[in-house]
Structure 1
């Protein structure tokens, strides 16, 4: 019962002392006022426990694509639970909702990505993709193909294997799967390109990848995993043509090309899947989560080609991989209702119009002295702060510029995500042009105020 829940901010935070938050400075959370309790949400707005209405500039966490409180999804979940609350898709069992969602995802995915293995988070989907490919090569009699190529700046999750595929700084002080992942050069032209042209930088990236393949041996590499646009690594967009050339290199060396579309799928870049429509690739595996249910239920999937499935489903073997809640009826119902809503409202098509408006609104902040680069695409954007634009030098970490701007923005009615010296925006895809303009105004005011409060000589 909701009446049994803590109601006041004080009571909520007292109870919250027992909760271990993810990806948080747990020491800072011990301090009074370090936490915000969100108690309700509707549309693109959330409300905190003090009654403040806030624009949800991060979409929950890259995921509330259709906005909060959509009755169509809530009713679909409720109806499903009243009919079939839970049954597993283990062994010989299935149920109508998971089967229907798998069919729908196969229809939406590019090429012959027709086989869907459900899980409950993007981390598990990415982890599972590697485990499936290891099994695939074992069945082909090529057990040496175990290595994974990833990239500096990548984020693929926080399981023991997926954190190993994530950029190394994120696993500092933690153990991770060792000896499996090799990290390639970060594809960030603005910061890593030096004196090269973008075309020269692209060639350098591909040369780096080719050198790594030939150094460790293609016969030892299972796959290359990549986010079409890097998310939690700083919203990094590789040079134009990078994805297709990387895919072609993988094809040349018989290495599987895996797309982590946990963030980019389901409309964030204006299409249900971005790999082919935006980046001209047809991966062997696409991993999804977040936007598939718009966050209304935990659900993820590893979507593989018929060719991979033909090998792992052959005789003389059992597919010994899966999670209890894979294809959960409520999650599958949420996914079907979410996709239906997006199709009915033509939300991906709408993003193709409003996304560039959002992008250009944020890029206009580039005239501010501490804004070094505004990057991203459509409703996936990052703002990097620097103390010297010409040299691209960063502020001292202790100044915590991203957090300062985020706190100012929240005071003015906008939730934004600080990531060190970067601010990330990934709002619901239902923003109006008026709300986009409001976000731009709040950010400009917030950044300007932070600039005015920085110590003399800080920039």
Structure 2
């Protein structure tokens, strides 16, 4: 929110009233005077009044290589001149084919089949539809139930939103309830008093097994999980949880879908976190965001060779996967993805992200000493600083309003936050330096202290 906005900014804010934003309160449509972002450079954004800020959330977890990368701009412009579109139904084009090959080489295990989508939601939707398709092909039409987790976020299409477990966001929205089942949040900070983290991990793994057994393994198609629950507030399950859940899925013949829309492309220091960080080779994997660093919309679903082989072995008849999008493998988006990967390689971004991550963790964890901070969670270059004004008397609305105030103060001092409920989420561009991390955390600390003092 801007104060004393210029006439130019006020004019844009007036026009913006026709833009129905995601998650907007429709009873207040047209009343918000949003900050207008005009430019981006590196880890910084500048609003329409010239205020320069660190982009704390990195757009929406996605501007991994930073703003203003001329390499991507040039690649996109050249591709538009050569070929602005092709139909993925009947022909192909070089950018999509080359990107698919490069991605398959980077993906864990035998995830050699890349199904391009328009973003993360459609990648997740496609994964779930493929799970149903797979079981139909294998003659198991009843094996259609999906297990997800409270606190998870998987998208905004009807099917992917049904699997999301952010409960406030389900209010007044219809969801699939008969075939989607949520098991408890694996947040260790919410474990019962006196319970060890190891025992909590056992309990959360048992939640998955118990749900599979309750529904019947012959009825459960898939378990979908983010390695780190991103929009749930950077929830980091206990060590070993992801791997043990994968083993359970293998045991009961349940497909394991890793939702890496956020955690892929360097956010946790690897191209994909499932194998490199958590030791898991999933049956399917979804990604988006960092795939183009937000320069153009593009998502991808990776499908295991094993699944395709099993479908083929089930019979000799053709089995088309009747799913796809007009913009699947869009050549301009694919060109952005290729240029994005080139930057990762030329700049050594994975090494850089791993080198600054410990400093990011250390500086954010220092905020745990503030009275208003009740939990700090950090994984790679993902951070969540959760606030509570009174842990003995929880009040979600009060704490959410407090964090909105922190956001306003931080913007005034050069930092854009992303409040998620009562948690300030940080996922800056991977190009961030240690000095810039210091600048970012110092502004956040000042915002927390100033907002608390103003109470």
Shorter-chain TM-score category? over 0.9
Shift of 1:126: 0.4
1:434-449 → structure 2 map (5 Å cutoff) = 434-449=435-450
Shift of 1:401: 1.6
Match of 2:358 among 356, 369, 372: 356
Distance in 2 separating the partners of 1:278 and 1:157? 23
Equivalent residue of 1:400, what SS? helix
Q: Deviations over 1:37-86 (max 9, x none)?
A: 10111111111111101111111110000000101111111111111100
Query: 1:22 and 2:19 equivalent?
Result: no
Equivalent residue of 1:381, what SS? strand
**Partner of residue 85, structure 2:** 86
1:38-53 → structure 2 map (5 Å cutoff) = 38-53=37-52
Shift of 1:191: 1.6
Distance in 1 separating the partners of 2:365 and 2:120? 29
Shift of 1:421: 1.2
Shift of 1:89: 1.2
Equivalent residue of 1:41, what SS? strand
Query: 1:137 and 2:135 equivalent?
Result: yes
**Partner of residue 367, structure 1:** 369
Contact 1:387/1:395 (CA < 8 Å) preserved in 2? no
Contact 1:115/1:309 (CA < 8 Å) preserved in 2? no
Q: Deviations over 1:236-292 (max 9, x none)?
A: 000000001000000000001100000000001100000011111110011000000
Distance in 2 separating the partners of 1:399 and 1:202? 28
Cα 1:86–1:25 change in 2 (3 A) is same
Distance in 2 separating the partners of 1:440 and 1:363? 10
Equivalent residue of 2:233, what SS? coil
**Partner of residue 254, structure 1:** 253
Contact 2:222/2:255 (CA < 8 Å) preserved in 1? yes
Distance in 2 separating the partners of 1:237 and 1:179? 28
Equivalent residue of 1:88, what SS? coil
Shift of 1:178: 2.9
Cα 1:399–1:273 change in 2 (3 A) is closer
Q: Deviations over 1:403-442 (max 9, x none)?
A: 1111111110000101221111111011111110001110
Contact 1:224/1:256 (CA < 8 Å) preserved in 2? yes
Q: Deviations over 1:158-194 (max 9, x none)?
A: 1111111001332111112231211011100112343
Q: Deviations over 1:215-237 (max 9, x none)?
A: 11010011100000001111100
- Provide the alpha-carbon RMSD of the alignment: 1.6
Instruction: Give the TM-score taking structure 2 as reference length.
Output: 0.95
Q: Deviations over 1:299-327 (max 9, x none)?
A: 00000101122345663222211000010
**Partner of residue 3, structure 2:** none
**Partner of residue 3, structure 1:** none
Contact 1:403/1:420 (CA < 8 Å) preserved in 2? no
Distance in 2 separating the partners of 1:430 and 1:64? 10
Distance in 1 separating the partners of 2:120 and 2:345? 23
1:190-339 → structure 2 map (5 Å cutoff) = 190-312=189-311, 315-339=317-341
Cα 1:385–1:392 change in 2 (3 A) is farther
Q: Deviations over 1:330-367 (max 9, x none)?
A: 11001111011101111011111101211211110111
Distance in 2 separating the partners of 1:399 and 1:139? 47
Instruction: Give the TM-score taking structure 1 as reference length.
Output: 0.94
**Partner of residue 175, structure 2:** 176
Q: Deviations over 1:97-123 (max 9, x none)?
A: 100010011000011000000001101
Contact 1:395/1:401 (CA < 8 Å) preserved in 2? no
Structure 2 unaligned blocks of 5 or more: 1-5
Match of 1:157 among 155, 170, 177: 155
**Partner of residue 415, structure 1:** 416
